[in-house]
Structure formats: C-alpha cells, structure tokens
Amino acid sequence: MIRELNNRSREIFRQIEQVARTDAPVLVLGETGTGKELVARAIHSLSLRAGQPFVVVDGNIPEQMADSELFGVVRDYPGFHHKEPMIGQFEMADGGTLFLDEIGDLPMALQPKLLRVLQEGKIRPLGSPQPLSVDLRIIAATNRELDKAIQEGQFRRDLYHRLNVVKISVPPLHKRKDDIPRLAEHFLRRNAAELKRPVPRLNEKALELLLKYDYPGNVRELQNLIERAAILTEGETIGVENLPPLEPAGGTPPPTGIPLETRLEEVIDAVEIDYLRRQLENAGGNISEAARKSGIDRKTFREKLRKHGIDWGSS
C-alpha cells in the first residue's frame, strides 16, 4: 500500500516506522481532520507498547475538571463525591501511549503540570501524599501555529521544545489527492466489516467526482462521505447518485441577481448563517477553532450561533 501513496504520504509512513522504535515524544501537526490521531495510533501500534493502552486526552478539557481527569483523585478528597478513587488518564496510559489532541488549546495553568510529568515521569493524584511513577509515551497534536502561540503568551516555550523532539507534518487532503482511492477503499472495507456485508466498490464516475472535490474537512470528511454512501447503497457498486452534491475544487461564484425586494438585512443574515455553519463543519464542530479561523473570539462566535438559532451540539 505504501508504494501506491504519494511521495509525502510515503515520507510520513517512513517517519512513523522510524519513531515507533523509540519512546521519544512526537508532535503531529496538521489541519483538523487530516488524520493526526491516525498517525498517533499507527506509531503506537508499531511500537513495543502496542499491547498496552492508547489513551486520548482532548486539549480543550475544561480547566476546572482537568486535575481530576488527568491526575486522578484519592478517596474522600474534599469536594469529590465519588465513593471510589478516580484513576486519572495519565495513570490509565501507564505502560502505553497518551495522545494529547489539540495540545495548542491546553489551558496555560495545566501546561507546567504536563511539563513536570514529561520531565519527572511522576504524577500526584488529588489528595495523595505520595507521587506515582508512570511509564508512558507522549504524542501531541495540534492544528495551531505554536510558534505564534508562544509569541502571544498562550503556550510555554519549554513545553513546546519538550514535546517537539520529533515532528510529523500531515498535509491537507487536497494536497495529496493520490491517496483518495486507497483511503476510500480502506473506509469501505472497515465499514463493510462493521456492517457484516460485502465490500462495495466505487465506479469510475463516483471516484472521478471524489478526486475533483477539495475536502475542506480533510480525511474526516472523506471518511464521512464514504461511510454515508456505503450505508445508503443497496447494491455492490457506489455511483454518483449515492454521493451528495460535491462542489469541485475552486468552488463556484456566489449567486447573483438577488431580488431587489429582499431586505439587505435578510441577505446578510443568510450569508452569515451559511458561513458560520461551514466554519463549524470544517472545524469538526470545534468552536474554538471555528472562531479562530473566523477572526473573532469564541464568545462572539457563540453569540452569533445563538442569534441565528444554529445548533452546535456539545462542542
């Protein structure tokens, strides 16, 4: 399969194979949906830790929950209402790999605590008199420019250098379209296995349509398209009719000739609603990222969603 991928993807596979032999921290860079977690899982599966836990931690974790979620809590800790002790995610990953997703969004108050774990290999659950030693491999990922975040005082430089021992950059899917056929086949096979049905195939016109599309949502968007088509296809072949309308790369110009009786406010609202929904979709539902790409703060972005009655789920 590696020979059939483009040069950049082959280089990523070579990096994965090389770094998997070590316990060095890895920083995976790339846009939302490019497959950063897939890279982390591949490193783990090829390492000597493959039979041990692979634990995912979201960098967007609320600060007030972070200490208990990450480090755990002993029994009878003040303010902790569970009858049994709570095991933190660092301890859950002991012996295996901890994947810190969207590390660029990690609150500043948590960053020195993470740095201490990386340096000392120890954690202290809330209420515990003694630290616990943990043996784990750290892989972090981000879609942010951490150099810029450091300059803006939003990310610690020492933590960045501790995480950035090995860096793997994952390009957006529109820059590696040669991968689309093999990725589509992989998703078709996985979906067929889950549904316990024969593996369907893409006909030429369907594949041609997929190759023309620009995938603002990257690999995640391709995965969703393929799984949706596979579920809705009754036969053994997926055609264009089984795919949603896909706008070719480059997009199309906005519609003209809006009726003059339409109020300007209605036109502006319609454009804003479409823009907010697309930003949310492209950010995988991550409001912080959607707001950042829109050039506004998270609070303003949320207020606009509420204004237009746009449902953003639990993001």
- Report DSSP letters for the chain, one per residue: -GGGS-HHHHHHHHHHHHHHTS---EEEE--TTS-HHHHHHHHHHHSTTTTS-EEEEETT--HHHHHHHHHEE-TT-TT---SS-EE-HHHHTTTSEEEEETGGGS-GGGHHHHHHHHHH-EE--BT-SS-EE---EEEEEESS-HHHHHHTTSS-HHHHHHHTTEEEE---GGG-GGGHHHHHHHHHHHHHHHHTSPPPEE-HHHHHHHHHB--TTHHHHHHHHHHHHHHH--SSEE-GGGS---PBTT--PPP----TTS-HHHHHHHHHHHHHHHHHHHTTT-HHHHHHHHTS-HHHHHHHHHHHT---TT-
Q: Are 91 and 235 within one domain?
A: no
Q: Are 155 and 179 within one domain?
A: no
Question: How confident is the model at residue 293, as a pLDDT?
Answer: 84
Q: Are 194 and 167 within one domain?
A: no
Question: How confident is the model at residue 47, as a pLDDT?
Answer: 96
Total-model pTM: 0.70
Split into its structural domains, the chain has a count of 3
Q: Are 155 and 187 within one domain?
A: no
Question: How confident is the model at residue 43, as a pLDDT?
Answer: 96
Q: Are 110 and 187 within one domain?
A: no
Please give the residue range of the domain that contains residue 166.
2-171
The parts of the chain modelled with pLDDT lower than 70 are 1-7, 76-84, 247-263, 266-267, 311-315
Q: Are 232 and 137 within one domain?
A: no
Residue where one domain finishes, among candidates 171, 191, 210: 171
